[in-house]
Chain A
Amino acid sequence: KNEVEQSPQNLTAQEGEFITINCSYSVGISALHWLQQHPGGGIVSLFMLSSGKKKHGRLIATINIQEKHSSLHITASHPRDSAVYICAVKAAGSARQLTFGSGTQLTVLP
C-alpha cells in the first residue's frame, strides 16, 4: 500500500464545475503539499499546510490531521486548470523527504 493515495486518478469536468481531489496518507506528517504540473513538466507549489484550511484565489486546500486526509478544491473551474495535481507529504521525524501521490489528471472542457 502506498503511503500517499490520491483519488480520482483522472477527472474530466465542464468549465465552471466545482472540483474536489482527495489525498489520504498513512504516516505521521509535518506538512502536506499540493503541487500542480502542466504538460512539459513544470511543477508549481500550490499549498503547503499542516492544519486547517488555506485559500488562494479559486483554490482551497483542507487537511484533517486526525483522519490523515486532505482535499484540494477548485471553484468555478476553467480549461487553464487542466493539469496534473499531486499531493505530497513530508513525514514527521528524521525522514523529512517528500513522498508523492501518483497524481490526478484533471481535464476541464470548455
Chain B
Amino acid sequence: KAGVTQTPRYLIKTRGQQVTLSCSPISGHRSVSWYQQTPGQGLQFLFEYFSETQRNKGNFPGRFSGRQFSNSRSEMNVSTLELGDSALYLCASSRTANYEQYFGPGTRLTVT
C-alpha cells in the first residue's frame, strides 16, 4: 500500500506570496492532519480534516487554511507569506481520528 505523499517536497517563496501544499493520504484513510515544524516552536498542530470537514484547528492565524476533497486528498494554503512561515509542513493520515497516524515526508517551505 502506498504511503502518504506530499507535493511539492521543497518550495521557495517570497514574502507576501501565497502557497498551496498537497497531501495524498493512504488509501482508505479518511482523516488528514497538518502540522508545522520549526526549530523554535517544534511540531505544532495546524488542522484536521475528516470526510471533507474541518474537525479541529490549531492556534494559527487565518492566513492558514485548508480543505479536503471527496477522495480524502487535502490541501493547505498559506496566504501573505511571512519569513516566520518557513518550516517543514507535515501531513498525516489515519483511518479515523482515533487511529494511529502515518506521516508523509513533508514539504520544506522557505520564505525569503
A contact residues vs B (CB 8 Å cutoff): 30-31, 33, 35, 41-45, 48, 86, 88, 95-103
B64 at the binding interface (Cβ < 8 Å): no
Q: Determine the main DSSP class of A at the interface with B.
A: strand
- CB-CB under 8 A from A95, the residues of chain B are 56
Name the residue of chain A whose CB is nearest to the CB of B102: A45
In the complex, number of A-B residue pairs with CB atoms less than 8 Å apart: 50
B33 at the binding interface (Cβ < 8 Å): yes
Task: State the interface size on chain B (CB cutoff 8 A).
Answer: 24
Q: Determine the main DSSP class of B at the interface with A.
A: strand
Bound together, the chains give a CA A96 to CA B56 distance in angstroms of 7
**Cβ of B84 to closest chain A Cβ, rounded Å:** 18
6 residue pairs bridging A and B, Cβ less than 8 Å apart: A33-B101, A42-B105, A43-B90, A45-B102, A48-B101, A100-B43
- CB-CB under 8 A from B90, the residues of chain A are 41, 43
B contact residues vs A (CB 8 Å cutoff): 33, 35, 37, 42-45, 48, 55-56, 58, 88, 90, 92, 97-103, 105-106, 108
**Cβ of B106 to closest chain A Cβ, rounded Å:** 5
Bound together, the chains give a CA A43 to CA B56 distance in angstroms of 21
* Cβ contact of B33, chosen from A31, A35, A98, A102, cutoff 8 A: A98
Bound together, the chains give a CA A27 to CA B47 distance in angstroms of 20
B98 touches A30 (CB 8 A): yes
- With A88-B43, A102-B42, A103-B42 known as contacts, the answer to whether A97 contacts B33 (CB < 8 A) is yes
Name the residue of chain B whose CB is nearest to the CB of A48: B100
Name the residue of chain A whose CB is nearest to the CB of B105: A42
